[in-house]
């Protein structure tokens, strides 16, 4: 049974011209780590698919009953009902395969300098985002995701917040270029912490000007604040105060040493 399912999935993937392999890391990347959506994300999408199929089946049943109650001169409408039933039966295996492929062809790559995400079946989206441009990280988790132990990590780069601030103006493509999602993962905090660590490393490399350092620290604080949950923010504020005191002490010692 599994062999037939794999063959059918392969046929659908070929029909939709899906890439055979996962995305390659950006050129020059090292420390590549691959993350995948959790199996519970597949179960969640399959449950949504099943509910949509039940709703469509009930709609067809109501339509058939309605047409059967029409006067004889309108019974020709049964032809359209028969076409609808045929389309419904045909789409069941195809839509099931699409849900399955959407899970299996979802790739999240994190390297030392950037991240690359590929997702989608009908339309394949691949985004590459440099850590030097990352502004915000936010973990999103609705009630169902919390119940399933899932979350999505939103990564937003420079320019991505302007469209939202202006009331959602701008093309969908423009917004997509500035936003990437690690959807349906069960280790969103781990991915977030990894990105933050590499973001600090990228922004901390080669900084010598105090004003430039202050700007990078401020940008890092903004990213960490957006990545934190309300429960974590008191600890973040305390850490920020401690770091500020440490920096002030360091500057004082450097000034005394140079005097």
Local confidence band at 177 (pLDDT 50, 70, 90 cut-offs): confident
Short-list 173, 123, 126, 134, CA closest to 24? 126
115 closest CA partner among 155, 158, 161: 155
Model confidence pLDDT, tens digit, residues 74-87: 777 788 888 989 99
Question: Vertex 34, ends 29 and 36: CA angle to 5°?
Answer: 150
Residue 124 pLDDT class (50, 70, 90 cuts): confident
Rounded CA-CA distance 195/137 in Å is: 9
- The answer to whether 130 and 113 are in contact (CB under 8 A) is yes
User: What is the model's pLDDT at position 196?
Assistant: 92
- The answer to whether residue 91 scores a pLDDT higher than 90 is yes
Buried b (16+ CB within 10 A) or exposed e, 41-58: bbebbeeebeeeeeebee
C-alpha pair distances (Å), 248 with each of 98, 209, 212, 221, 253: 56, 16, 16, 17, 9
Q: What is the spatial distance between Cα 81 and Cα 103, in angstroms, rounded to a whole number?
A: 33
- Dihedral over Cα of 167, 173, 179, 185: its sign: positive
pLDDT at residue 239 in the model = 63
**Which candidate, 103, 131, 84, 111, places its Cα nearest to that of 18?**
103
Instruction: Answer whether 225's CB lies under 8 Å from 204's CB.
Output: no
Cα distances (Å, whole numbers) of residue 246 to 53, 77, 242? 60, 79, 6
Show me where the domains of the chain are located: 44-102
Give the list of residues 6+ apart from residue 50 with CB closer than 8 angstroms, or none: none
Count of helix runs (H) and strand runs (E) in the chain: 9, 7
Say if residue 228's pLDDT is above 60.
no
Q: Which residue has the tokens 């339309």?
A: 123
Residue 92 has pLDDT above 80, yes or no: yes
Task: Identify the residue whose tokens are 């040493």.
Answer: 257
Q: What is the mean pLDDT of the chain?
A: 79
% of the chain surpassing 70 pLDDT: 70
């Amino acid at each position: 049974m599994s062999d037939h399912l794999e063959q059918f999935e392969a046929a659908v993937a070929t029909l939709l011209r899906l890439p055979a392999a996962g995305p390659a890391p950006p050129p020059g990347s090292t420390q590549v780590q691959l993350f995948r959506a959790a199996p519970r994300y597949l179960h969640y999408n399959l449950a949504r698919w099943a509910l949509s199929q039940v709703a469509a089946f009930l709609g067809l049943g109501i339509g058939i009953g309605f047409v059967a109650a029409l006067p004889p001169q309108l019974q020709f409408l049964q032809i359209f009902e028969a076409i609808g039933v045929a389309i419904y039966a045909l789409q069941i295996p195809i839509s099931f395969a699409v849900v399955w492929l959407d899970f299996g062809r979802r790739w999240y790559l994190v390297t030392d300098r950037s991240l690359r995400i590929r997702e989608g079946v009908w339309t394949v989206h691949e985004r590459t985002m440099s850590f030097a441009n990352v502004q915000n990280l936010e973990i999103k988790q609705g009630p169902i995701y919390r119940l399933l132990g899932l979350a999505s990590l939103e990564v937003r780069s420079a320019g991505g917040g302007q469209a939202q601030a202006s009331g959602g103006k701008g093309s969908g493509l423009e917004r997509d270029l500035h936003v990437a999602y690690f959807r349906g993962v069960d280790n969103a905090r781990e991915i977030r912490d990894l990105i933050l660590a590499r973001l600090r490393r990228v922004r901390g490399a080669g900084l010598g000007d105090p004003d430039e350092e202050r700007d990078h620290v401020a940008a890092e604080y903004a990213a960490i604040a957006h990545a934190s949950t309300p429960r974590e923010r008191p600890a973040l504020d305390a850490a920020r105060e401690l770091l500020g005191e440490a920096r002030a002490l360091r500057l004082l010692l450097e000034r005394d040493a140079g005097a």
